[in-house]
Amino acid sequence: MPEAKKPNPARRNERSRHAILDAARELIREVGYAKVSIEAIAARAGVGKQTIYRWWPSKGAVVFDSFLALSGNPEEGITLPDTGDIEADLKLVMRATAAEFADPDFEAPIRALNSEIISDSGLAAQYREKLARPVDDAKKARLRAAQQAGQLASDADLDLVLEVLYAPLYQRWLHRSGPLTAEYADALVDITLRAFRP
Amino acid sequence: MPEAKKPNPARRNERSRHAILDAARELIREVGYAKVSIEAIAARAGVGKQTIYRWWPSKGAVVFDSFLALSGNPEEGITLPDTGDIEADLKLVMRATAAEFADPDFEAPIRALNSEIISDSGLAAQYREKLARPVDDAKKARLRAAQQAGQLASDADLDLVLEVLYAPLYQRWLHRSGPLTAEYADALVDITLRAFRP
Amino acid sequence: MPEAKKPNPARRNERSRHAILDAARELIREVGYAKVSIEAIAARAGVGKQTIYRWWPSKGAVVFDSFLALSGNPEEGITLPDTGDIEADLKLVMRATAAEFADPDFEAPIRALNSEIISDSGLAAQYREKLARPVDDAKKARLRAAQQAGQLASDADLDLVLEVLYAPLYQRWLHRSGPLTAEYADALVDITLRAFRP
Amino acid sequence: MPEAKKPNPARRNERSRHAILDAARELIREVGYAKVSIEAIAARAGVGKQTIYRWWPSKGAVVFDSFLALSGNPEEGITLPDTGDIEADLKLVMRATAAEFADPDFEAPIRALNSEIISDSGLAAQYREKLARPVDDAKKARLRAAQQAGQLASDADLDLVLEVLYAPLYQRWLHRSGPLTAEYADALVDITLRAFRP
DNA sequence: TGGTAAGCGAGACGGTACGTCCGGTCTTTCG
DNA sequence: CGAAAGACCGGACGTACCGTCTCGCTTACCA
């Protein structure tokens, strides 16, 4: 077996790792994902190219990791507000999500991330596992509470509920096919609750 | 005023245009969007690179046009089946859509198209106008008929209905977050009709 | 016989011909011979490229013709001064030649011409015939007079005399291997006269 | 200060350097200087284009270096024959020079070199220093011996002697204005010795 | 505690593609 | 029918990065 050489993670230089992820994030913001090159990341980070190739298989992977690092490592799960009023709580969250998507500062990097995810199934899996899952779990926890409170059909598939709730917003943002207003966020909550009411 | 030089479209060589779009489509199928180069398209089409740069601003634009050309030019609008039963009709269409997305032959090119659209707002606009709109119009026509038949709330925003119906499927495909089965298609129709019933 | 198509010179547009030669001369002065392109000449002259290709076989030929046109057409021969004192007369001419070579305005075009002549034997022949010959004939006429006056060996090969007289100056200029001063010009005359004295 | 990036010569790959110079020489011989492209040199040498651009500023510089490499590096000076008879010795050398110029194998490359030298003063300086100087020094050494033997005027400027001796031959070759025969070589020696005799 | 092997910065290398320029040919339109 | 305009195929330009490959140098582990 040829068996690719594996570098020893114990010896990894944490200083370099950070510099690389920081440089990646900065460059994406400054010039856009498509124009970021590994050479530029290495130069900006003051690092040899080989150090990047040693630890990451592709530009996408570096960028992805830079997102992971950014989102902190929420070892303990996130929790959504629970006032007992599922409609109010969801509208709060949905409006926040819509606002985040509309924020031009988040625009470029999130588009970069999505672009990479579409065509790289490995990164897509990582994305689901590391970035989407924790958030989705928190949302599902809140929905489960609503089910128990009789505000949602008890047999509703919560993954499906999440999709109906978020996918329209996501698609509208991705295709720039309409404005992401608070009213729109509210409308999606209303529709979802109507579709899945007990 | 810098005023870019404009080539004269009247003198355009239709033979070359076709060869380029054909070559683009072939290459995407053969090696995948990311690995297609303008150089390769020109070589395959038996065309000078300048002839591509003269008429298209980017690789994405060429690829996009090759899709447009493929989808024919449905001068006259498309029409969806109308048996009078909106649920049955929608399930038919949704199952077909799910099947299309699941078809590995369509996989690569559609992902390429979406990847390009996400980060190029100009192409996104063209996409909405030239590819999405005609199809959406046909769908909305069918929904409107359902409204008149009292199968759908008469005040429902049809754009929103379409989003709730299709976006979950689209997102699931994009993120590969679940299987695109006929059951799933049916479920989306059921949910949408419940959400927007009169 | 395939017999290349020959355009009919009678129909040639004199206005275009002039514009082309003028444009060529201007561009050589402005950007240097090597960077002049046929496209640029055509654009500057307000002429189609084909009009250049129709009448000239190469860029070198155009440039050469632009020199010919510049040097006027001395239908009637040139004459050198003849004071009876061959030494004085030659020194006058040689100093003028040295000064001309040293003039930075003449530098670029003459180097361009020579560069072209070196590697294109056709142009070299034209150069000898059209540009060098008339001048050389005038010089030889003066030398012949000196022979008859007993100031030069009567059996001297006048072509050789010219070479001994001018070639060192020419080579020094071409290779930039030394200054082209009046003293140097004088020295060459002295040496030549000594070598070929009766 | 813009300060161009300097590659580190210590890291230079000698194998590539040789391959490039060899390829350049071969291609000049095969297709002629004007038609040699850097791309072709790189391809023939099995080298990336950047490796050429990293170490040479222009095609001319590569070609020039390939000449330098060819002429070996005569660390120790060259010496001309010295039989005590300056006329015989010079005729021997001049005939050899004439023969070399007339050799069609040397024709193309030497013309290429001269063409490049004319319009690039940097290369001209290198030419004088690296190629012409060593040879000229050897010639001047022989002439100096002749001066001490009383065969040449003791106050003769040896640079000038060399010019009178060689420039006519050089010009005749450059302009193809006459045959380069042994008789012509002899005549130039005779004339020069007469001009500079004590 | 000194030797040695890994990771590291630097950057040269063989390559591929970029987007531009121009060479020479061909076609369309006008006078 | 010559000429202007300019699109076309082709090929080279010089640049940017790719991913791989040495080079010393520093650093951490083991003997």
Q: Are B115 and A118 within 8 A, CB to CB?
A: yes
Q: Report the domain count for chain B.
A: 2
Q: pLDDT tens digits for chain C (198 residues)?
A: 344 456 777 778 888 999 999 999 999 888 888 899 999 999 999 999 999 999 998 888 998 888 888 776 555 567 888 999 999 999 999 999 999 998 887 888 888 888 888 888 888 998 898 889 999 999 999 999 999 999 999 999 999 999 999 999 999 999 999 999 999 999 999 999 999 998
Residue nearest to nucleotide F20 (CA to C1'): A50
Provide the greatest CA pair distance for chain B.
59
**Long-range contacts of the stretch B138-141 (C-beta < 8 A, 24+):** B138/B77, B138/B78, B138/B79, B138/B80, B139/B80, B139/B93, B141/B77, B141/B79, B141/B80
What pLDDT does C3 receive?
42
pLDDT at A76: 61
Determine whether the interchain pair C191/D187 forms a contact, defined as Cβ–Cβ distance below 8 Å: no
Distance CA C33, CA C48 (A): 21
Residue linked to tokens 């057409």: C73
Q: Could you tell me if C140 and C158 are in contact, meaning their C-beta atoms sit under 8 angstroms apart?
A: yes
Residues in C whose CB is inside 8 Å of some CB of D read: 32-34, 111-112, 114-115, 117-119, 121, 124-125, 127-128, 132, 157, 159-160, 163-164, 166-168, 170-172, 174-178, 187-188, 191-192, 194-196
- D66 & D92 share domain: no
Residue B4 resides in a domain: no
D1 falls within a domain: no
Q: Are residues D189 and D93 part of one domain? A: yes
Tell me if D196 and C191 make a contact (CB, 8 A cut-off).
yes
D158 within domain boundaries:
yes
Kindly give the confidence (pLDDT) of every residue in chain D, 198 residues in length, as a single tens digit, with 9 standing for 90 and above.
Answer: 555 678 999 999 999 999 999 999 999 989 988 899 999 999 999 999 999 999 999 999 999 999 888 776 655 668 889 999 999 999 999 999 999 998 887 888 888 888 888 888 888 998 999 889 999 999 999 999 999 999 999 999 999 999 999 999 999 999 999 999 999 999 999 999 999 998
Contact across the interface for D125 and C176, Cβ inside 8 Å: yes
User: Residue A16 pLDDT more than 50?
Assistant: yes
Both D66 and D118 in one domain: the answer is: no
CB contact under 8 A, C160 and D166: no
Shared domain check, A184 and A153: yes
Strand E nucleotides within a 7 Å radius of protein CB atoms: 6-29
Domain boundary among B43, B70, B97: B70
- The CATH code of the domain that includes A64 is 1.10.10.60
Q: Which protein residue has its CA closest to C1' of F22?
A: D11
Looking at residue B143, its pLDDT comes to 97
Q: Which of A115, A167, A196 lies nearest to residue B171, judging by beta carbons?
A: A167
- How many CB pairs below 8 A link A and B? 99
| CA closest to A198 among chain B residues | B194
Residue A78 lies in a domain: no
Closest nucleotide to B13 by C1' from CA: F7
Please tell me which residue lies nearest to nucleotide E28, judged from CA to C1': B11
On whether both C66 and C110 belong to a single domain, the answer is no
Sort out which chain B residues have CB atoms less than 8 A from A160's CB and list them.
Answer: 168, 187, 191
Residue D91 and residue D38 share a domain? no
Assess whether A107 and A42 both reside in one domain: no
Identify nearest nucleotide to residue B11 by CA to C1′ distance: F7
Residue D166: count other Cβ atoms within 10 Å of its Cβ.
20
Residues B91 and B188 in one domain: yes
Q: Which of C77, C190, C89, C97 is nearest to C143 (CA)?
A: C89
CA of A27 to C1' of E12 (A): 25
Residue A80, domain member (yes or no): no
What is the reported pLDDT for D122? Answer: 87
Protein CA at A16 to nucleotide C1' at E2, angstroms: 28
Task: Tell me the average pLDDT across B115-131.
Answer: 89
Q: Specify the CATH number for the domain of residue D139.
A: 1.10.357.10
Q: For position A192, what pLDDT does the model report? A: 97
Last residue of a domain, one of B20, B46, B70: B70
A124 and A30 both lie in a single domain:
no
Q: Which of A97, A114, A118 to mutate to test the interface with B (most CBs of B within 10 A)?
A: A118
A127, A130, A191, A194: best to mutate for the B interface, most B CBs within 10 A: A191
Q: Is residue B151 part of a domain?
A: yes
Q: Long-range CB contacts (< 8 A, 24+ apart) of B85-91?
A: B86/B142, B86/B143, B86/B145, B86/B146, B86/B149, B86/B151, B86/B152, B86/B193, B87/B151, B87/B189, B87/B190, B87/B193, B89/B142, B90/B142, B90/B165, B90/B189, B90/B192, B90/B193, B91/B185, B91/B186, B91/B189
Say if C79 falls within a structural domain: no
Judgement on whether residues D62 and D92 belong to the same structural domain of the protein: no
CA of B10 to C1' of E28 (A): 10
Same domain flag for B117 and B22: no
Shortest CA gap B50–chain A (Å):
23
Facing B117 at nearest CB: one of A117, A175, A191 = A175
Domain that includes residue B111, residue range: 86-195
Mean pLDDT score of chain B: 91
* Nearest-angstrom CA–CA distance, B196 and B186: 16
**Alpha-carbon torsion angle D103, D109, D110, D115, nearest 10:** 140
Q: Which residue of A has its CA nearest to B109?
A: A119
Q: Which chain A residues contact residue B163 at CB under 8 A?
A: 167-168, 171-172
Whether A100 maps to a domain, the answer reads yes
Most distant CA pair in chain D, distance: 59
One domain for residues B92 and B66:
no
